[in-house]
Amino acid sequence: MRKLMIPVIVIFIAALLMSMFIVQEGERGIVVRFGRILKDNNTEIARIYEPGLHFKVPVFDRVRMLDARIQTMDDQADRFVTSEKKDVIIDTYVKWRIEDFGQYYLTTGGGDASTAEALLKRKVVDSLRSEIGSREIKQIVSGPDRGKLSDENAPTAEDDAPATDIVAEVAPRKEVEGQRDQIMANVLADIKISAMKDLGVEVVDFRMKKINLPDEISESIYRRMRAERESVARKHRSQGREKAEVIRAQSELEVAKILADADRQARVVRGTADAKTAEIYSSAFNKDPEFYNFLRSLKAYENSFNSKNDILVVDPSTDFFKYMKESSGTN
């Protein structure tokens, strides 16, 4: 009897261990019995096992663990066509989590996350393609929080229109209704409904990370922008040279006016001074004409005989030697 107890105890412990399973934090468990998901009593909703220790029927029941955390689907960028028939490359990401674990398990063929993301990716692309196809590039790349400004001369459908910051590079500017945020909101609302209905997942968020042009037309856009910027620069330089010439001409005119006025004032002052000098000389001469003549003669002698090498041939009887012949200095 004792020999039989040991195998029985071993079998009991093994059965007990096989009937136990643990659901980790951040996961949810579902039990599949004979290929069918166990459901709550009297309902069609799958029985969900929360984190903790649970029991199942050994051998017959199989436990499937599903990630209940928010997951990020960040795949490679896709190409879309705008209403202008121009290609844009848009990089997106989606935040999602499982809401209906039973439906998710059945739809994805056993809870395969890659299958779920492939199906969700298809929904995102289809919805985004519909939104992009009804708008122009300027509306796609502009958001209401970026000032609603774009270019009147920005590249259009016929000009290989640029994406993102390229549109805001040329002038003049005019208001453009930015719809990037509206596009993301519409896509999020659309895929929320379809993803919940078809996959049993809740889409938490959808964002467009980057909007680019294909490589084959980006270079032509940059060349066009460069040419437009150079044209604007030449215009500014020409206006600057014109303004400089005007300023230079005005400055030269002001200088000429100032010099002419200064010369006029100098001539007036000089004339006044000459008149005053002549008046002083005349007054002094009238007071003592003889003494004045004597001083002038001395000055003339000084200027005439300032060099020993000078030779003068002058008649001694002339008035020039008047004061030299008369030592008294009088007639």
Interval 37-49: pLDDT, tens: 888 776 777 888 8
Q: In this structure, is residue 124 part of a structural domain?
A: yes
Give the strand pairing for 78-81 and 87-98: antiparallel
Phi then psi dihedrals of residue 76, to 5 deg? -70, 160
Looking at the fold, whether 139 and 35 belong to one and the same domain comes out as no
Q: What is the pLDDT of residues 260-317, one digit of tens each?
A: 999 999 999 999 999 998 888 788 777 777 777 777 777 776 776 666 676 666 666 6
Looking at the fold, whether 30 and 90 belong to one and the same domain comes out as no
**Residue 324: band (very low, low, confident or very high) from pLDDT cuts 50, 70, 90:** low
Looking at the fold, whether 124 and 193 belong to one and the same domain comes out as yes
Q: Closest by alpha carbon to 204, among 188, 216, 185, 193?
A: 188
- Of 27, 51, 67, the residue that ends a domain is 67
Looking at the fold, whether 80 and 207 belong to one and the same domain comes out as yes
Query: What is the reported pLDDT for 169?
Result: 37
Query: What is the reported pLDDT for 269?
Result: 94
- Of 213, 237, 266, the residue that ends a domain is 213
More confident residue, 107 or 43: 107
Average pLDDT over residues 210-216: 81
Q: Whole-number mean pLDDT of the chain?
A: 80
What's the predicted TM-score (pTM) here? Answer: 0.55
Number of neighbouring beta carbons within 10 Å of residue 317: 9
Looking at the fold, whether 114 and 59 belong to one and the same domain comes out as no
Phi then psi dihedrals of residue 22, to 5 deg? -115, 130
Looking at the fold, whether 44 and 85 belong to one and the same domain comes out as no
Q: In this structure, is residue 133 part of a structural domain?
A: yes
- Quote the crossing angle between the two packed helices 180-198 and 113-133, to the nearest 10°: 140
Q: In this structure, is residue 89 part of a structural domain?
A: yes
CATH number for the domain spanning 136: value is 3.30.479.30
Looking at the fold, whether 90 and 183 belong to one and the same domain comes out as yes
Amino acid identity at 135: R
**Residue 128: band (very low, low, confident or very high) from pLDDT cuts 50, 70, 90:** very high
- b (16+ CB within 10 A) / e for 81-90: ebebebbbbb
**Residue 10: band (very low, low, confident or very high) from pLDDT cuts 50, 70, 90:** confident
Looking at the fold, whether 57 and 85 belong to one and the same domain comes out as no
Looking at the fold, whether 93 and 152 belong to one and the same domain comes out as yes
- Does residue 323 have a pLDDT over 80? no
What are 197's two structure tokens? 């209905």
Q: In this structure, is residue 141 part of a structural domain?
A: yes
Calculate the CA dihedral of residues 188, 194, 199, 203 and round it to 10 degrees: 10
Looking at the fold, whether 157 and 76 belong to one and the same domain comes out as yes
What are 325's two structure tokens? 């012949």
- Of 182, 198, 213, the residue that ends a domain is 213
Query: What is the reported pLDDT for 242?
Result: 93
Q: What is the pLDDT of residues 164-212, one digit of tens each?
A: 343 333 334 444 467 888 999 999 999 999 999 889 999 999 999 888 8
Average pLDDT over residues 96-111: 88
Q: In this structure, is residue 273 part of a structural domain?
A: no
Residues contacting residue 143 through CB under 8 Å, at least 6 positions apart: 178, 180, 181
Looking at the fold, whether 174 and 296 belong to one and the same domain comes out as no
Domain count, the chain: 3
Query: What is the reported pLDDT for 315?
Result: 64
Looking at the fold, whether 141 and 195 belong to one and the same domain comes out as yes
Average pLDDT over residues 142-150: 53
Q: Please report which helix (H) or strand (E) contains residue 286, including its range.
A: helix 215-287
Q: In this structure, is residue 221 part of a structural domain?
A: no
Q: What is the pLDDT of residues 219-275, one digit of tens each?
A: 777 788 889 999 999 999 999 999 999 999 999 999 999 999 999 999 999 999 999
Phi then psi dihedrals of residue 326, to 5 deg? -105, 100
Number of neighbouring beta carbons within 10 Å of residue 132: 24
What are 125's two structure tokens? 């692309």
Q: In this structure, is residue 50 part of a structural domain?
A: yes
3-state secondary structure at position 154: coil
What are 245's two structure tokens? 């010439």
Q: Which has the minimum average pLDDT: 84-88, 119-123, 236-240? A: 84-88
More confident residue, 144 or 106: 106
State the burial class of residue 322 (Cβ atoms within 10 Å of its Cβ: 0-12, 13-18, 19+): middle
Q: In this structure, is residue 306 part of a structural domain?
A: yes
- Does residue 213 have a pLDDT over 70? yes
Q: What domain range includes position 75?
A: 71-213
